[in-house]
Structure 1
Amino acid sequence: MKLYLLRHGQTNYNVLGLCNDSPTPEVRLTPLGLEQAAAAANRLRDVRLDRILTSELPRTRETADVVNRDHGVPVAAHRDLNDWRTGLDGRPVADLYAAIARDPLHTRLDGGETLAEHRARVFRFFGWLGTQRDERVLIVGHEETLRAAAAYFRHLTDEAMLALRFENGELLEFDLPPR
């Protein structure tokens, strides 16, 4: 299965430097975020997709809808693609990184999940996806989702995974062998 993984376009929370791991706050794509989604749509225009999978957070669906104008395939949310539940929703990203600096993979904050738990959730998703019959799937997710995907497909160490950075609108490609 050919996978295309796309980080959602820029949001108002990205501009403000705020964490968002809940689908309820009004976190939407900015005009630049819509441009990033359109640029991704242009890169994927000639790719035949079978379906698009997103997280449950609206910014991934907004991005997917822009891309899907050229494809008209089913779009579905999968909860295992949800962003890392940091426990600091609505708080500054700088506070998050300061709080987890000593042990980024295993620190749990305010009832959230650890980054290691998030990674395991994304890995579980790829196990499930390997049982599906699609040939080409677009996954619209979050930076941490792309980090976990890169770790999964490139067999990265924890340190290498943590060093990765992905811009809004960045697109990755991987091959997922069938199970």
Structure 2
Amino acid sequence: MTTLLLARHGLTHLTGPVLAGWTPDVHLNDAGRAQAEALGARLASLELDAIVSSPLERCRETAQAVAAGRVTEVTTDERFGECRYGDWTGRPIAELAKDPLWPVVQAHPSAARFPGGESLPEVQHRAVAAVREWNERLGPKAVYLVCSHGDVIKAIVADALGLHLDQFQRVTADPASLTAIRYTPLRPFVLRLNDVGGDVTGLRPAEGSADADGGENLTVSDAAVGGGSGTT
């Protein structure tokens, strides 16, 4: 079972009021750098088998903060890049909220194609395909981190939860938040969602633990009826 940690990039001067998309040279601001450093400190005790990043600067800078002091280097994968918002790129959110496409993005994102850009189903397809490929490449005992963007993370989470893409707006991914998904042969398990604090040691199962091998009469794909005793 492979454990994927999804980290959203830290804050930039555009995060929130403007849809940055693939706008070039958008870097972490002071608050974002502090968030990235705090994320790196939280994960410092956790061995990571790979650190993968969107090619955009704000993600690479966040991923580098996690990689600081490690032998693991940051690898970029364009499939984890931000949605290509086309004509929406760089425009204020308040302005976009008046666009006729806005309610479609909110209620029926599976039908949303950004003018001159990607559709949200295309974004989900490329991101989930990348996750599956990395899972296969790294193997069932791996724990690795991908630093990406809000809509990309939400699309991956929706897939892991078996949700239709039209429900992905119910998922939240705050700046520098951590989401953890464990992929087993039968199904994924979402271990953490939009986590912005707390211990992370339980995200790598101990050898021989019930969480690692399923325990007596269980497989790693079985869900704990009644909730179980926890994974930490």
Same fold (TM over 0.5): yes
Q: Output the amino acid matched with 1:173.
A: A
Which residue of the partner structure matches residue 154 of structure 1? Answer: 161
Residue 122 (str. 1) matches residue 121 (str. 2): no
Give the superposition deviation at 1:83: 0.5
Sequence identity (%): 28
**Preserved CA contact (<8 Å) 2:7 2:147:** yes
Residue 92 (str. 1) matches residue 95 (str. 2): no
Give the superposition deviation at 1:119: 1.2
Unaligned runs of 5+ in 2: 187-232
Give the superposition deviation at 1:70: 3.3
User: After TM superposition, where is structure 1 displaced by more than 4 Å over at least 4 residues in a row?
Assistant: none
**Preserved CA contact (<8 Å) 2:8 2:173:** yes
Measure the CA separation in 2 of the matches of 1:47 and 1:54: 18
Residue 13 (str. 1) matches residue 14 (str. 2): yes
Normalising by structure 2, what TM-score? 0.70
Measure the CA separation in 1 of the matches of 2:154 and 2:146: 13
Q: Deviations over 1:125-153 (max 9, x none)?
A: 12212221251111000001210121121
Q: Deviations over 1:93-139 (max 9, x none)?
A: 33444433332222323311111211111111122122212511110
Q: For 1:127-146, what aligned pairs fall within 5 Å after superposition? A: 127-134=132-139, 135-146=142-153
Which residue of the partner structure matches residue 48 of structure 1? Answer: 47
Q: CA RMSD in A?
A: 1.9
Greater mean deviation of Cα atoms: 77-86 or 122-131: 122-131
Which residue of the partner structure matches residue 200 of structure 2? Answer: none
Give the superposition deviation at 1:160: 2.8
Unaligned runs of 5+ in 1: none
Q: Deviations over 1:62-98 (max 9, x none)?
A: 0011111132302111011010111122111334444
Measure the CA separation in 2 of the matches of 1:129 and 1:51: 9
Query: Which has more radius of gyration?
Result: 2
Q: Output the amino acid matched with 1:18.
A: V
Q: Classify the secondary structure of the residue corresponding to 2:144.
A: strand
Q: Output the amino acid matched with 2:182.
A: D
Which residue of the partner structure matches residue 174 of structure 2? Answer: 167
**Preserved CA contact (<8 Å) 1:11 1:33:** yes
Higher relative contact order (Cα pairs below 8 Å, separated by 6+ residues)? 1
Q: Classify the secondary structure of the residue corresponding to 1:102.
A: helix
Normalising by structure 1, what TM-score? 0.90
Measure the CA separation in 1 of the matches of 2:179 and 2:156: 9
Give the superposition deviation at 1:178: 6.6
Give the superposition deviation at 1:163: 1.9
Residue 2 (str. 1) matches residue 7 (str. 2): no
Give the superposition deviation at 1:21: 2.3
Which residue of the partner structure matches residue 70 of structure 1? Answer: 69
**Preserved CA contact (<8 Å) 2:155 2:165:** no
Q: Classify the secondary structure of the residue corresponding to 1:173.
A: strand
Measure the CA separation in 2 of the matches of 1:76 and 1:166: 22
**Preserved CA contact (<8 Å) 2:79 2:127:** yes
**Preserved CA contact (<8 Å) 2:40 2:67:** yes
Q: Deviations over 1:28-60 (max 9, x none)?
A: 101110111111112111100111100111110
Q: Classify the secondary structure of the residue corresponding to 1:132.
A: helix
Measure the CA separation in 2 of the matches of 1:10 and 1:146: 16
